[in-house]
Amino acid sequence: MSFAEKVVVVTGAAAGIGRATALRFAREGARVAGFDVEAAKGPGLVEEIRASGAEGAFEAVNVAEPASVEAGVAAVLERWGKVDVLVNNAGLGTAVPATRETPEQFRQVIDVNLNGSYWMAQACGRVMQPGSSIVNIGSVLGSTTAGLPQAAYASSKAAIIGLTRDLAVQWTGRKGIRVNALAPGFFPSEMTEQYPEGYLDMMGFRIPSGRKGEPAELAATVVFLASDAAGYVTGQTLPVDGGMTIT
């Protein structure tokens, strides 16, 4: 599972799961480029990456904007000459009742979660070489519900499953690029901080493991899927949910 000399791009890298993932790849020896709209957090991320002994960079990228995505990927190519791994982690969540959700609210979630993942995969897929890997971060809410009104979010994450499957069929055999997805359960993040007070504790009965996940646990699974150790795995969506989807 060595990532020495590998170039890894992580979107939504400024905080939470994205930050944990970027730092885990850095500890595995990768050169890590973090993409995020929160530009102010970029220098701190790069400092942490470099403190682990790895090369790091940050690009202020809005994944919902194809031009921004293209500019970010071009900057990585100019710096390191390649992209070996893409982690599509950037995401946006809402909890708005369906009768009150505006077109703008719905479109914004789809633009970031689904369209943004596609624009990133498209830009990186054009330049990736055989042996490269893409890991999309979906959600268990793409295949189950959790009691909140999340039509936009759930729709976007269900679509990630289909996107992952289709890109794997298109690219694994022809281009040598594996494409997989993770479906996280409940992990503490900026998104879950918006949930109603006590909501995550209330949902504990659905998790056989009896607890929320830790970002480091998800990051470790991302690293596995992106590595040569998972070289015969493609087109799959792997739940990382403490057993939530089996209850």
Would you list the DSSP string of 65-134? -HHHHHHHHHHHHHHHS---EEEE---------TTT--HHHHHHHHIIIIIHHHHHHHHHHTTPPTT-EE
Q: Report d(CA 70, CA 120) in Å as an integer.
A: 8
Identity of the residue numbered 38: E
* Domain at 7-246, CATH class: alpha beta
Q: Report d(CA 59, CA 61) in Å as an integer.
A: 6
Give the H/E segment covering residue 31.
strand 31-36
Active site residues: 153
Q: What is the DSSP letter of 13?
A: T
Express each pLDDT in 75-115 by its tens digit: 999 999 999 999 999 999 888 899 999 999 999 999 999 99
CB of 16 closer than 8 Å to CB of 53: no
Q: Report d(CA 237, CA 226) in Å as an integer.
A: 13
Domain locations along the chain: 7-246
- Whole-number Cα distances in Å, 163 to 85, 87, 105: 17, 14, 22
Scan for tokens 């919902």, then name that residue.
Answer: 64
Q: Report d(CA 115, CA 99) in Å as an integer.
A: 24
Express each pLDDT in 101-111 by its tens digit: 999 999 999 99
Scan for tokens 């498209």, then name that residue.
Answer: 122
Instruction: Please compute the mean of the pLDDT values over residues 130-153 and round it to a whole number.
Output: 88
Express each pLDDT in 182-222 by its tens digit: 999 877 666 655 656 665 565 665 777 766 778 888 999 99
CB of 69 closer than 8 Å to CB of 45: no
Q: Report d(CA 52, CA 35) in Å as an integer.
A: 19
Instruction: Please compute the mean of the pLDDT values over residues 148-166 and round it to a whole number.
Output: 94
